[in-house]
Structure 1
Amino acid sequence: MSAVRIATADGPAVTVTSTGEAVPAWAARYFGAWWTATPVTDLAGPVVSGDVDEEELRALTAVVDGSSPERIEYAGAEMLCVREGAMVTAVQPGEGLAYRWDAEWKLLRIVGTDETAVATAAARLAREVVRAQLLADGWAILHASAVTGPDGATILTLGDKGAGKTTTAFTLARAGWAMLANDRVFARVDDTGTVRVLPWPSAAAIGFGLLEALDLFETTRERLASGEQMHPTQHQKVTDALLAGDRTPLWKKNGKGELKPQYFPDQLTTWLSIPLATQGHAAGILYPQITADAAHRLIEYSRGVQDGDFFDETTEDRYPDAFGLLPPPVDHTALRAALEELPRQGLVMGHDPSANATLLKDAVARLSV
């Protein structure tokens, strides 16, 4: 057996195990840059176990087929779930995956026909197990990007979809800040009133336009051309375009989103030279707006913290709580109040990366961080 314990800077942890080395190694790569990943021999605490095992896959599929399963969408694919007491059995037929969660033993078993699919699912569910522990400890998930300075002072970027959270984070990261979050961040008010923040490890999606603006397109293309692989959730059309040097944005079939290059967390550092942070404390909030051909400027902006800035069961779209891992919702009044007390700055950016970088430097200075 091979096992690795994944833990946040705040303590919550999960152990990922397998009869082989690939699944724990995948988890170590996925989480080690933002959380910690330590090889272990004991199985204390919650466990996620993953293997390629077609016989067990058939057995779990038979359990679901012999019942009246609940149908949900999980990670972009249909999942059929059967709940019986403390046990949840689920299958994703299109992905060749089956799951069994035993709440009494805190053991989540994942089996499938493809090692990469099993490893990806194990990492995703390991994160959900840790997420549940953090939420039970009073942490919340903000829809925000975040960068952190050497002393842990963290700039959060809030705003609606398309406001410029990712552009802000990567532009500041290229200017020397450490990346703590690209899209989501855990936050909690401590006993001193300080808003502590922890990263949400995930693949980082960067659109072709931003990649080119940050002068990172060619670096990515060269790495791919040398035989290195990006995250498996990346669409083949994106890989083909990168290899061909085609910078034209690609769109999903429904037209409701761009197909973007997807990076493993560690590739942000090894490929793009962006340092990562493991924790911090919120010191200010930026509210960007991106408008093509806009006059770059700082503005007064009173948007404040909104309900949509928090991820919960009503706003989560990709990872619904299929296995009943999450605790009941908690009141975020204290966190919201603490966030509202932080210095804030609005800004209008355009598509000029140099001008954006200069403006963001001025915006951060206004926050006195």
Structure 2
Amino acid sequence: MSTPTATRLRAGAASVTVRSTTSAFVTSWALRYFGPWWKAAAMPVDEVLAGPLVTANVDGQAYDDLAAHVTAGPHDKVTYAKAQLLLVRDSTGTGTGTITAVSPAEHLAYRSEPFAGHLAVYGRAPEPVALAAARLAREMIRAALLRDGWTLLHASAVARDGRVVLSFGSKGAGKTTTALLLASRGHQLLANDRVFVKPVGDDLRVLPWPAAAAVGLGLLDALGLYDVVRERLRAGEQLHPTQHPEVTAALLAGRRDPLWEPDGRRERKVQVFPDQFPGWFGMELATEGRVGALLFPRVDAAAVPALVEGGRTLGEADFMSGSTEDRYPDVFGLAQGIDPAGGVLARTTVAEHLAVLPHRQVALGHDSAANAAFLANVADDL
């Protein structure tokens, strides 16, 4: 058995500890994944005394025992993280609310005690266990922040001197493009796709949502980052393991055209670790800030970068509501009684704060240099 290790994550007033007694890979993964955006730090295991906790171990026997428990009797079936999950809830009458689940395809088993703030993960290999532990630790942080009055917005974000520019829009509108272009022109990248916000006095405070950033092959090429990624891969480095193998093969082969799912509706994209933005691309990251302005981009291949007339108000799709979060349903009871978008009152208050801030609608073309120069000027003028 390896030396027990632990990593504590902190965002705002929320904290979660990831602990493992069998694999330092699990806790080092959490440190790498969350460190650039949340205040992740290694900590002595003997200091893990209280607070929300994810225990994650590579333990085939524990996996087998929990899998046998779940499948021995009636159980529910749900889809969680694109895999089938079988689960049973405590029926002993003890009132503990314990939830036991197994994902046969991933060889992962879970035991959640939501009222105790403890969730255990067991599996046969370090990487799946580390991925599951990080995902669940993030969900525990989210639940704590939502209880503390934060709201989750569907937006990208960059910061300069603590002042944040948010970019809104549906998939393909250009949120990621806008954020990465501004990050290449002196702003710090704070979020790729979603952010936590909370009114504090006259300010709207912002915290990042750590996640692998999905960047299409075409956008990667247009940003001038394609060759950097390809050379890193050829040297033996890796991108996030959720990246489809065909994307990795395309990069190694030098293919720059977009790759599509078989149904042709979704693009398969490069999955970038948070720490690869500064490490590979030289982009600085921000860990917090206050909202100063809003952008509403729209990408059109034939467009010349320009301001667009007309107004744009926030709608329900600009908040990360339940309908947008169906990939990770709260099957482990981590966010019982919490609106996943932060509650109607919180959303209304945030929308009111945002409505009075400077905002611009912008059209972007496919000339990244022109887009970057234009966006930098707009951001400076806001």
TM class, shorter-length: over 0.9
Deviations 1:171-218 (A, max 9, x none): 00011100000001001111x121100000001111111101111000
Aligned with 2:230 (options 221, 228, 234): 221
Q: What SS is found at the alignment partner of 1:94?
A: coil
Q: What SS is found at the alignment partner of 2:133?
A: helix
Q: Displacement, 1:74?
A: 1.5
Distance 1:266 1:130 in 2: 20
**Residue 55 (1) aligns with residue 67 (2):** no
Aligned with 1:16 (options 9, 15, 18): 18
**Residue 333 (1) aligns with residue 348 (2):** yes
Deviations 1:322-350 (A, max 9, x none): 11111422222111111111110011111
Q: Displacement, 1:62?
A: 1.5
**Residue 278 (1) aligns with residue 287 (2):** yes
What's 1:298 paired with? 307
Q: Could you tell me which amino acid in structure 2 is paired with residue 29 of structure 1?
A: R
Q: Could you tell me which amino acid in structure 1 is paired with residue 123 of structure 2?
A: G
- List gaps (5 residues or longer) in structure 1: none
**Residue 159 (1) aligns with residue 161 (2):** no
Aligned with 1:103 (options 99, 114, 139): 114
Which stretch of the first structure deviates more once superposed, 56-65 or 218-227?
56-65
Q: Could you tell me which amino acid in structure 2 is paired with residue 349 of structure 1?
A: L
What's 1:72 paired with? 78
Which stretch of the first structure deviates more once superposed, 126-135 or 300-309?
300-309
Matched residues, number: 364
Deviations 1:123-162 (A, max 9, x none): 111100101000000111100000000x200000011221
Identity %: 48
Q: Could you tell me which amino acid in structure 1 is paired with residue 177 of structure 2?
A: T
Q: Could you tell me which amino acid in structure 2 is paired with residue 166 of structure 1?
A: T
**Residue 4 (1) aligns with residue 7 (2):** yes
What's 1:118 paired with? 129
Which stretch of the first structure deviates more once superposed, 280-289 or 78-87?
78-87
**Residue 180 (1) aligns with residue 187 (2):** no
What's 2:257 paired with? 248
Q: What SS is found at the alignment partner of 1:314?
A: helix
What's 1:83 paired with? 89
Q: What SS is found at the alignment partner of 2:51?
A: coil
Check whether the contact 2:212–2:273 (CA below 8 A) recurs between aligned residues.
yes
Q: Displacement, 1:313?
A: 2.1
Q: Displacement, 1:253?
A: 1.8
Deviations 1:65-119 (A, max 9, x none): 1233222221121212222242111111111111110123211100111110000
Check whether the contact 2:109–2:121 (CA below 8 A) recurs between aligned residues.
yes
Q: Could you tell me which amino acid in structure 2 is paired with residue 293 of structure 1?
A: A
Root-mean-square deviation over aligned CA pairs: 1.2
Check whether the contact 2:75–2:87 (CA below 8 A) recurs between aligned residues.
yes
Check whether the contact 2:143–2:338 (CA below 8 A) recurs between aligned residues.
no
Check whether the contact 1:209–1:249 (CA below 8 A) recurs between aligned residues.
yes
Distance 2:314 2:303 in 1: 25
Q: What SS is found at the alignment partner of 2:275?
A: helix
What's 2:360 paired with? 345
Check whether the contact 1:347–1:363 (CA below 8 A) recurs between aligned residues.
no
Which of structure 1's runs of 4+ aligned residues deviate more than 4 A? none
Q: Displacement, 1:298?
A: 0.5
Q: Could you tell me which amino acid in structure 2 is paired with residue 111 of structure 1?
A: Y
Q: Could you tell me which amino acid in structure 1 is paired with residue 149 of structure 2?
A: G
Deviations 1:294-337 (A, max 9, x none): 13210123221111111122321321111111142222211111
Check whether the contact 2:307–2:361 (CA below 8 A) recurs between aligned residues.
yes
**Residue 356 (1) aligns with residue 362 (2):** no
Q: Displacement, 1:59?
A: 1.2
Which stretch of the first structure deviates more once superposed, 246-255 or 12-21?
246-255
Distance 1:302 1:319 in 2: 34
Check whether the contact 1:155–1:283 (CA below 8 A) recurs between aligned residues.
yes
Distance 1:95 1:26 in 2: 18
Aligned with 1:308 (options 294, 312, 317): 317
Q: Could you tell me which amino acid in structure 1 is paired with residue 125 of structure 2?
A: D
Distance 1:94 1:291 in 2: 41
TM-score by length of 2: 0.93
Check whether the contact 1:83–1:89 (CA below 8 A) recurs between aligned residues.
yes
Q: What SS is found at the alignment partner of 1:294?
A: coil
Aligned with 1:38 (options 34, 37, 41): 41
- List gaps (5 residues or longer) in structure 2: none
Q: What SS is found at the alignment partner of 1:255?
A: coil
Which stretch of the first structure deviates more once superposed, 255-264 or 212-221?
255-264
**Residue 142 (1) aligns with residue 153 (2):** yes
Check whether the contact 1:139–1:187 (CA below 8 A) recurs between aligned residues.
yes
Q: Could you tell me which amino acid in structure 2 is paired with residue 129 of structure 1?
A: M
Q: Displacement, 1:354?
A: 1.3
Q: What SS is found at the alignment partner of 1:14?
A: strand
Distance 1:271 1:11 in 2: 31
Q: What SS is found at the alignment partner of 1:179?
A: strand
Return closer, same or farther for 1:158/1:301 CA change in 2, 3 Å cut-off.
farther
What's 2:179 paired with? 169
Q: Displacement, 1:290?
A: 0.5
